[in-house]
Structure 1
Amino acid sequence: METQKIRVMWFVPPLLALVASQDAQATAIGAERNRSSDQQFDALVAGDVDAVVTSMDNVIGWNRRAGPRDFRVVAQIERTTPLTVVARPQLRNLQDLRGANLLVDAPDNGFVVALRAMLRDAGIESDSVRLTPAGGVKERFDALVAGQGDATLLGPPFDSMAQAAGLAYIASVQDIYADFPGQGIVVRQGGEANTGVAAWLRALERARRRVSGNAEVARQAVLAAGFPGAVADAMIAQNPDSLRPTTAGVALLIAHRRSLGLAGADNDYSTIVDDSMMEQYTGGQQ
């Protein structure tokens, strides 16, 4: 019997996917690193991929674009996505970013919404900064190091790489918003390959439990993928208690949009999350 294979896009290979890849029962995946969330959107619309790993806020933005509007988060793959504002060395705090050129993935959806909320809470109005689309986390790191902007939002391993390159640590999203959620697995509802995605989620759940019980197994999987030990430890620290997207995290995403006056503040958990795939393998017990 031919093994079912699903196609996935992500910015950085997530821990649970690395651990699940060692599982002989796991659904085979064809994984591709993407350069931006817009590339993920286009690939899902075209049917070129079956799932993407991305900011859960993207579902809110994507469902308001011209197109299918049937995107849903089906799992949360990490406890939180550690995000750090990193800037040119002479910039020291959020107030210093007034008038700055900020490198972002997209100006109105994704992690930029948390960045904009941080700036608002620091008293910096949206029209006081410039948002320049520069792609995914690696692309933003490369652009910032090359001097093409003043600051950006980075996650592991690029946040530590940026500081090692002499760039300044400004602030952490998690220090300000403790409920900020991790990345989600996003699909289109009713997709033909969603049976395969559900099987992959079962493998990810087995991986999540393995990581909880044996961190060294997870560490070796990350090291084998070419990441340094510090990145492995950071990933393991974000192993979620459940693959079910947290209600507090989703509520925070909606609250950020509401406070910024962005479209999508009328969403609720059910318009962002479809947990029916998880029901298939947990029987409602998570």
Structure 2
Amino acid sequence: MNNNMLRVIWFVPPAVSIAASWEASDRVELQSRQTLSSDEQFEALSSGAMDAAVTSMDNVLHWNLRPGPQDFVIVAQIESTTPLSLIGRSKVQALQDLEGASILVDAPENGFVIALRALLGEAGLARDAYSLVPVGGVKERFQALVDGQGDATLLGPPFDSLALAQGLVTIAGIQAAYPLFPGQGVVVRRTTLLNNPALKAWIALLAQAVRGIGGNLNKLESALASQSMPASAVKAMIDTFPTTLVPSVQGIELLIAHRKQLGLLGAEASYASLVDTSLLK
């Protein structure tokens, strides 16, 4: 394989990667692919078909316990938080209205759904009070909800705004409940971390984009708007542009605390066991 090539799989191109693409580099050739689900990301990294995934950092807590390589690690955090809204049909006005509901998810045991399960539990809904129905990534969940295949789902920009334009309603916000909720991370296998020079080069470009964004905000806003994103989605991506790529200690501790609260595997993990910041030094 070309030593300059890095294959990345993500749900939506992150804003910091768009900004990093403006800087030419002969050290990295980025090949990206949109994913349908976190399970697809797990398989792609496990098989070596892809080198890195931009994904919920909670996934690492679960992926390292699944049958497989069990050597996944977070090397960077690429947004300050992932704006997530619980969007539902108009009949759902409050969390308690989700008793007996079908909630559309990417995967029921890992990812953003863990924060949602914690939120529902705090609202008094036991795990058997609702159904979690896997339908795939954010684009797939948006379409399934619009098509009436479920009662609610978690959506982020731009799909939350698109859903509201379709007459759906906001039930709750993850950030309102958990202000320290972290953004997505760059997840790789430790073998990739040690042996892929293109990964190091890409992380360096991302860090350069973070340092230089002050003079490029208008350019980034125009780039996002050119993708036909609603203005609210563009604003959300600008507002959550990272000030550092170092994964948030408090954010990851919140993810671990949610697993402990729910009695899920992975609650024994620690920041040190999940994160490697060697590429950020």
Which residue number corresponds to residue 282 of structure 1? none
Deviation digits for residues 21-56 of structure 1 (CA, Å, limit 9, x no counterpart): 111127220000000000000000110111000000
Structure 2 matches for 1:47-196, cutoff 5 A?
A: 47-191=48-192, 194-196=196-198
Residue 5 (structure 2) pairs with residue 5 (structure 1) = yes
Counterpart amino acid of 1:199?
A
Equivalent pair of 2:16/2:242 in contact (CA under 8 Å): no
Rounded Cα–Cα distance in structure 2 between residues aligned with 1:89 and 1:208: 39
Rounded Cα–Cα distance in structure 1 between residues aligned with 2:134 and 2:280: 34
Secondary structure class of the residue paired with 2:36: coil
Structure 2 matches for 1:267-278, cutoff 5 A?
A: 267-278=269-280
Cα distance, 1:19 vs structure 2:
1.1
Q: TM-score, normalised by structure 2?
A: 0.96
Secondary structure class of the residue paired with 2:170: strand
Rounded Cα–Cα distance in structure 1 between residues aligned with 2:77 and 2:3: 25
Cα distance, 1:230 vs structure 2:
3.2
What percentage of residue pairs aligned between the two structures are identical?
Answer: 51
Equivalent pair of 1:55/1:184 in contact (CA under 8 Å): yes
Secondary structure class of the residue paired with 1:203: helix
Which residue number corresponds to residue 216 of structure 1? 218
Equivalent pair of 1:103/1:151 in contact (CA under 8 Å): yes
Counterpart amino acid of 2:91?
Q
Cα distance, 1:240 vs structure 2:
1.4
Report the more deviating stretch, 188-197 or 5-14: 188-197
Paired positions, count: 278
Deviation digits for residues 98-137 of structure 1 (CA, Å, limit 9, x no counterpart): 1110000000000000000010111111110100001000
Secondary structure class of the residue paired with 2:79: coil
Which residue number corresponds to residue 23 of structure 2? 23
5+ residue gaps, structure 2, are none
Which residue number corresponds to residue 34 of structure 2? 33
Counterpart amino acid of 1:211?
I
Rounded Cα–Cα distance in structure 1 between residues aligned with 2:240 and 2:140: 23
Rounded Cα–Cα distance in structure 2 between residues aligned with 1:259 and 1:109: 14
Deviation digits for residues 50-93 of structure 1 (CA, Å, limit 9, x no counterpart): 10000000000100000110000100000000000001111001
Equivalent pair of 1:76/1:243 in contact (CA under 8 Å): yes
Equivalent pair of 1:141/1:154 in contact (CA under 8 Å): yes
Equivalent pair of 2:161/2:230 in contact (CA under 8 Å): no
Equivalent pair of 1:50/1:193 in contact (CA under 8 Å): no
Cα distance, 1:3 vs structure 2:
7.7
Which residue number corresponds to residue 243 of structure 2? 241
Rounded Cα–Cα distance in structure 2 between residues aligned with 1:17 and 1:159: 21
Cα distance, 1:231 vs structure 2:
2.3
Cα distance, 1:223 vs structure 2:
2.9
Q: TM-score, normalised by structure 1?
A: 0.94
Cα distance, 1:229 vs structure 2:
3.7
Equivalent pair of 2:74/2:187 in contact (CA under 8 Å): yes
Secondary structure class of the residue paired with 2:90: coil
Q: Alpha carbon RMSD of aligned pairs, Å?
A: 1.4
